[in-house]
Every structure is written in structure tokens, then in C-alpha cells.
A and B are shown apart, each in its own frame.
Chain A
């Protein structure tokens, strides 16, 4: 239990530290990769919480996701080197306040609510996988299928929006 807490704390601190780095660094790619390592640290934390499948999934998914983020980052910012000393924030005070209030609100709920007795043990990873699988295929099937179809639709729609049609490009050229 103590070991578990220690590991969770360790990975939690890593996750938080990397999350801070995301908004502190001036290099776009560093931002994206810091986010990746933050999320991967969360994945490690899940592993410490004996959620093996979820942890591994998190670690795997985030690698791809954040790398793609890095590519868009570089593309949209037109700058491989990070913008150096450029200011990229606005409404700083407000955001800080919101962040702090948000965190404290969450903390307040976390610590004030009675959560009952924590369970000491979790099912083994094999049992978990089996349970999750059965849940996905039985009770939550509709939800999950809906989510799957939604993401597919969103992907198609996003691609359709992003890909400039020939006519749109032409129109733009005409305008210019």
C-alpha cells in the first residue's frame, strides 16, 4: 500500500512537472513532448494503480497522439525552433485565477466528500481484461459503438474540412 502510494506520488509529480513544462517552455516540440511525457507518467500511475490495460493503453495512445500534435505545432507555428521569446499568452491573470480556482474546487470536492473505505485489492490484470471485455461487449456495447462511430464521423468530417477542395483553392486564388 505504501509502495503503491509512493509510486503513485512519484509518477504524479512527474506528470505535474511535465504538464507545467508544457506551458513554460518556448519550444513547440518540447511542449508537445512534455505533454507526451506528462501523459505517459499518468499511464505509469495507472499501472501503479493496478490498471494494467488502461495504463499500457494510455502510454501507447499518447505517444502517437502527441507526436501528431508536435507536427501540427510546427506546421501552424511556422517555426521549428520555437518562437524563442515570443509572448503567446493572453488574459494571464484570469487564467491563473481560473486554474487555481478550478484546482481548488476539484480538491475541495476530493477531500471533503466522503469516499467510503477504499478497496484494498483489485482483480488481477487477466480478470480485469476479461471483465472489461465482457462489459464492452454486453452492457456498454451501445455506448462504445456509438463512441466508435462518432470518432469515425469526426475523423471523416475533420479530414473533409481540412482538405482544401480544388474549387475552394481556386476561389481563393481568384480572390487574391
Chain B
């Protein structure tokens, strides 16, 4: 697909190529803004400098015209990426780096290898493509099967009645009301483990201009998981089976605008409005019906009676007999709902922050239920993690390679983990110089990883200088050879001092991201809670280096920031002492050895444990414990009842890697 013959852009905008068009196309070619999938941190971890290549990074696909896909795209991200693509205004392009196959996405317009030189070439190619083919009268419209939305018909009274054809409800005889849902219903919620998650936010946009594209194809959010768009979700947990399509008959007039809200369960609506507590259905119905006919006609009451029953089935709110009161009771509406911490109940809006959220690592799917701008509930998961560790089993020769591929954010640590576990299983020993070189590589990765985290964190907290400088240092470190590391260490030290002197930084971060359950934490998160936990303490190689972990008090985002900076500097010191940054080679010579082995490596995020059995050159993982898997459980405690920005800072400060988590 990449070998498209002529220089046409798949995502061209439908327009005749006039002189004006050519002018605009040329301008577009010189103004490329990129939305990076899975995320800019992956590009950085792979040593790519997108800015240097001339791409402007955009926080939302709406402002971008190039979708940059870095490396292999895991299954869970393909649909979100395709959604992001549909949400980019045309002309748009896909730039794939390193891997091509990204199924719901169209084939890449430009495909290059994963390195800086190739990236530069790719951007140049992209510019040519834009200059020549940004406007095309015959541009195809992009339509991914999974994204096509489909109109289905539901009964306003009985949400369980959903049919493909317009007809009447078998239970009450009312006309069914159309609503939109995704065709790919098979990708339901259970599949993604997301409970009531839906594409709440960023709904599709109607291409209102000049395109013949099926607007239904755009009916999905980019940040959210484009799963099934049915709205009967999450019933058990929130007792909201009383969802009713509120955008019924009388609802369509544009003049009264907002076709969603409480009386609206349409997944196609912007806000995912959820009822909490046990009496969802009822109030909806009253609202729906209570409009015009209340004061005038009698039959309305009868309807209400009907509905009361309907509601009660779902909610069991016995006393709810306001059919003849003529208005919706706010008291009853708010009665059973969970209270906000400040006692002021606001509507709960479920908002996805991920898997492609610019401030968080790509692939981390976070869903906040917002109560105003306070996070009331949190669901955290990973869209990119492995389905199961079993996928990593296999021949021992390539085992290290496979485990290293697990997490693009810290591949070396996992390679090392694999090697050590295999060696322990086979009873092999590593000589001293090798071990030292490994330490050098591991510590360099630690420093780079911390700087990479810092770049993303700086972006999240709106501290551009920090983000930029951290990125520069990280990229320089990845490209540095052994001699240059010393220079980088000095720069990191200066950087640290500068960060410590930054006004307002402490005020912003102190107290944010406290972990209520520190016992579950490992790595820097635990160490900033004053715990001296570090797998490196037990390693012999570190003894002569005089290793002492960076332990800080504070247990908040600021302490974590300082600790990571200090660790980065410390690690660079070890790299200097180790005298080399060579990556550890392939697995040692193991000839059909069998046995059980276990190893622990202090990855940049904390200790990862691996236990495996080796049998005739085949590896079977019996246990793999990663720091992010442990930390993912901390997210709720860090975010709930926090202001949105604080919650995000808290999550980011944990430095989660969604890649090393089982979905």
C-alpha cells in the first residue's frame, strides 16, 4: 500500500486544484503538525526528534494534519488511532515509522524506518505529497468498518428493546426511536474491560464542507476507546439500566440546541451522562414526557404511571410517585447519588483521558468521572499491554528479544531481566566485566527514562522550558557514547539545580499525588515515600560502586520529580564508572539446559520480577511482576476526589508504562 504509484495523498481534501489551491497546498506542506501515536514519549524513547525533523507536535488530532505512527501499533491502539485519523481535518496524512500494518488505519502515505535520518526523509516526502496532492477532486473518503456507526432502533421505555428495523416495541407498542451505535458491536465493553466507558467526549464531527464523506463514519471519539456504542452499559455497578433515549421526538429542533443531558442516554451524545444511585430510569421518563403535555392534558398522567413502573423495575425507588407533581424533583434526583467531597453535587460526566491523551503516556486509558472539575471516580487500564504473558513464551534464543519488545519505554531493563532469569535457570554465570557493562546500559536507560518522563511531565504541567530541556538531554544521552556521558552528567546537574530553583514548582506539585497505599509501591514511588526499597541493593555489582538509593520524604509529585532528577544524575555517574554503554548481547550459550530460574531487575519504574522454567530450550514464564502493574492499582487512590489537573499530575508522577501491564 505504501508503494502508491502517483504522488497522491490518501487523505486529500476534495477540491479542485486551482491556483489558490496550489498556493494553500504549498503552505500546508510547510506547516505540518503531527499527532503522535502511541505518544511522543515512544518517539523519544526510540531516539527520534520529531521537532528537529520539522514537525510541530499538536495536542489534539483536530489541530494536526499528520498522524505519526511510531513503531508497531498494538491491537488496542489501532482503533483509537483510526479514530484520531478520522478526526483530523483534511488534507491529512499518515506517516508510519518502522512498521506498516495498522489495519483500520489507511495504508501509510509515507513509510520510513525508525531512525532520525529516515524520519527527515519521510518528512520531506510528506511535504512533497502535500504540496502536490493536498487537494484532489477525486479523493476517497476514509471509512473503517469498525467505526461505521449504524442506526438502530430502541424503545424509549424499555431500553432492552433494540432492533435493527424501525417498528414498534413489543412490550408497550410505542414507536421505536432511532439512535446510533457502532457496527462493530462485537468489540463490546467486556472486551475492553472498560465498564461503562464510552466515547463520551470527542464525538465525531460532521464534515460540513465539501466532502461526501459519510458522517456516520466519524461518530467516534479519538481519545476514548471506540468500543460498542450501545448505552446499556455498566448496569450492575451503577444501577443505571434505566437508560432511555431522551432525544426522542420533540427533541430535534436545532433552536433548542443541546440534545443531550440527563434525559439523554444516547451514546452518540457528547457527554456521557450517567445516573448514579438506584433510580435512573424514572426521572428520565418524567422529564421526557413532562414537557408539553403536563399542564394541558390528562393522559400524560397515565403515561407517567406506566413509566413509574418502568423506572421502579430498574431502580426500586418505591416512594417515587411524582407523576402528578408536574415537575422533576431535584430532591429525589439527588437523593441517592454519591456525595461529592464538598457536598455540592454536580452532574457526573465520564470523560476519557487516553489512550491517546497528550499529557499521559500513550496507551494508558484513563477514564475520569468528573464531578465538576473534581474526579469522582477513576478507571485505569492499559490499551497496549500484552494480552497475557504466555505470548512471550517460546524458544530461549529469542526470549530476551521478545521480552525487550514488551516495553518500548524501557526495553533494556526487560532484556536484562530475561537474560538474568535464563542464566539463573541454566545456572550460567556472567563474568565481572560483562556484569559491569550491563550495569552501565541499565543505568543509562534509567537516566534516559527519567528524562523522558520529565519531558512528558513538563508538558503536562505546562512548564515548557523543563519539557524542552529534558527532551534535549534525553535525546543527547541516547546518542552519546561513553565519553560524552560525563558532559551530559554535568548538564543534568545544572538542569537539576535550575529546576530546584524554579518558582512555583514546589507550590504546584507539593502534596499532589500522595499514594494512600505505599506498601504496594515500588521503585522511585516507594523511595520518595521514605522507603529504602531498591533491588539494586542486593546486587553484587553495585556494591563496589557504593550504591545508595535516593530516598526522599514527601510522597508527592514534587518529591518524585526531585528523586528522578537525582537518580538520573546518580545513574549517569554509574555509567561513567562502568565505562561503557554497550547493550547486553544475546543470551549466553545454553545448550538444552533445563531448570527454574528467577531474576529481579530494578527497572526505571521499580523492581520487575521474572520467574520462568526452561525446558529443552523453551521458556515458560511462570511469573512476571512489573512495577506498572502494581502502580496501576494506585491510580484510583491518587486521583479520586482530586481536582482534575492534580489528578493528572498525580497519575503522571507515578510514571506508569502501560506497555508492561496485562490488559
Binding site for B on A (CB under 8 A): 25-27, 30, 74-88, 90, 92, 164, 169, 172
Contacts and interface: CB of A to CB of B under 8 A. Distances in A.
Given A86-B263, A87-B326, A172 B258 contact: no
Contact of A78 (B247, B292, B333): B333
Given A75-B346, A80-B271, A80-B347, A85 B263 contact: yes
A84 B259 contact: yes
Nearest to B263: A84
A94 to B, nearest CB: 12
A80 B291 CA distance: 18
Contact of B345 (A25, A78, A84): A78
24 contacts: A25-B256, A25-B257, A27-B257, A30-B257, A74-B346, A75-B346, A76-B330, A78-B345, A78-B347, A80-B258, A80-B271, A81-B258, A81-B269, A82-B261, A83-B262, A83-B328, A84-B251, A84-B262, A85-B288, A85-B291, A87-B294, A90-B326, A92-B295, A172-B343
B72 to A, nearest CB: 39
Nearest to B260: A81
Nearest to A29: B258
B295 A84 contact: no
Contact of B327 (A27, A78, A90): A90
A33 to B, nearest CB: 11
Interface residues of B, number: 39
B78 to A, nearest CB: 32
A169 B257 contact: no
Contacts of B294: 87
Interface of B: 246-247, 250-251, 256-264, 269-271, 273, 287-292, 294-295, 326-328, 330, 333-334, 342-347, 349, 372
Given A84-B246, A85-B288, A164-B343, A79 B327 contact: no
Given A26-B256, A27-B257, A86-B290, A79 B343 contact: no
A151 B259 CA distance: 39
Contacts of A86: 263, 287, 290-291, 327-328
Given A84-B287, A84-B288, 11 more contacts: A26-B257, A75-B372, A78-B346, A80-B271, A80-B347, A80-B349, A81-B260, A84-B258, A84-B262, A86-B290, A87-B328
A81 B294 CA distance: 21
Nearest to A92: B295
Nearest to A30: B257
B263 A27 contact: no
Contacts of B261: 79-84
Contacts of B270: 81
Contacts of A169: 343
Contacts of A75: 344, 346, 372
Contacts of B290: 85-87
A77 B258 CA distance: 14
B286 to A, nearest CB: 8
B641 to A, nearest CB: 14
B622 to A, nearest CB: 47
Contacts of A79: 261-262, 347
A26 to B, nearest CB: 5
Contact of B262 (A30, A74, A81): A81
A96 B328 CA distance: 22
Contact of B273 (A26, A81, A85): A81
Contacts of B262: 78-79, 81, 83-84
A27 to B, nearest CB: 5
Contacts of B333: 78
Contacts of A164: 342-343
B328 A27 contact: no
A79 B349 CA distance: 10
A119 B568 CA distance: 79
Contacts of B259: 81, 84
A162 to B, nearest CB: 9
B343 A85 contact: no
A79 to B, nearest CB: 5
B238 to A, nearest CB: 16
Contacts of A76: 330
Nearest to B273: A81
Nearest to B295: A92
A148 B342 CA distance: 30
A85 B286 CA distance: 10
Of A26, A76, A169, the most chain B CB neighbours within 10 A belong to A26
A25 B287 CA distance: 15
A87 B259 CA distance: 16
A63 B256 CA distance: 22
A86 to B, nearest CB: 4
